[in-house]
Amino acid sequence: MRIDYHTHHFRCGHAVGTLEEYIESAIAKGMEQIGLSDHMPLLHVDPETYYPEMAMPIAELPAYVEECLRLQEKYKDEIQVRVGLEGDYIEGYEEQIEKIVTGYPWDYVIGSVHFLGTWDITDFRQVHHWEGKNIIKVYEQYYDAVRKAAASGLYDYIGHIDAIKRFGYRPEEDTTALENAALRTVAEHGLAIELNAAGIHTAAKEMYPSRRMLEQAYALGVPVTYGSDAHHPDRIGQKGSEARDMLKSVGFSKLATFKRRKRDMISL
C-alpha cells in the first residue's frame, strides 16, 4: 500500500510512538504518503472525570499541529506528510467541532462516530453498556449519527463506517438498509470512506467496512482511501496487501488522497 491516512501517536493516550517514528516507519515501508490523524480533543465530556487516555488534551492541539507541519517540511524530500485529524462527530457540538476544523491548516479531517451520547462504542472499557440493550436500536442510533456526520460539511471522509460491529454485537435483524442509507448520504454529500484495516484485530474479524458495504460504495461511486488505524509505528500499512487486493477485487482502481482539504485520486 502506497499510502496510509489513519494513524495515532502518544498524545492521544492510548497509542505509543512519536509522530516522527510513524513517518520513519512509513518511509521504511516504501510509502509515498503518510497521514497524521490523531484524535480530536474531547468536547462533550469532562476529560478529568471521564475514562482516561481517550484523546489528546485540548491544550496539546496547537503543539500537535505545529509538530506535524515541522515534520512535513523536514521530510518533504522523502515522503509526502499530510496533516490530519480524526474528528469525532458529536451531535449538538457541531459549532465547537467547526472551530477546530476551520482553525488549523488541515489537509484532511476524518469524520468518525465513536460516541453515542457519552458511550464510546469503540472503547473496550465500555463494552458493559451493551448489556440489556436492543442491539438493532443501537445500530439505528449509530447509523443515524453517521448520516448526520456525512451531512454536516465538517469532514472529508468517513472513518471506519461500520465500527459499531467492533465487539461482535450484531442484531438478528438485517442491517443492510441502515448501511446503504449511510452510504447514500456519504455519496450525496461528496465524501469518501476509508478501508480501515484495524477491524481484523477485533471481534468483528474483518476490516471496516465489510466487503458488502465496499461493493455498495463502489456501486454508488463513493471514493475510498486506506487507513491502518495504527496505534504503534510498526502497524503502519498493516494488512495493506490484503486491503489492496480486496479493493481491486471489488472493482476499485484508484485511492482517494487529500491535500489542503482537496481530494485527489491516485492509482491503486
Tell me the per-residue pLDDT of 210-267, one tens digit each, with 9 for 90 and over. 999 999 999 999 999 999 999 999 999 999 999 999 999 999 999 999 999 999 999 9
Give the model confidence (pLDDT) of 117-159 as tens digits: 999 999 999 999 999 999 999 999 999 999 999 999 999 999 9
Residue 231 region, left (φ>0) first, then alpha (ψ -120 to 50), else beta? alpha
Q: Which CATH number fits domain 3-267: 3.30.365.10, 3.20.20.140, 3.40.50.150, 1.20.1250.20?
A: 3.20.20.140
CA distance 31 to 9: 18
Closest C-alpha among 221, 145, 133 to residue 178: 145
Reported pTM: 0.97
Q: What is the CA radius of gyration of the chain?
A: 17
How far is the C-alpha of 231 from the C-alpha of 13, rounded, in Å? 10
- Segment 41-98, tens digit of pLDDT: 999 999 889 999 999 999 999 999 999 999 999 999 999 999 999 999 999 999 999 9
Q: How far is residue 143's CA from residue 182's CA, in Å, rounded to a whole number?
A: 6
Count CB-CB contacts under 10 A for residue 252: 19
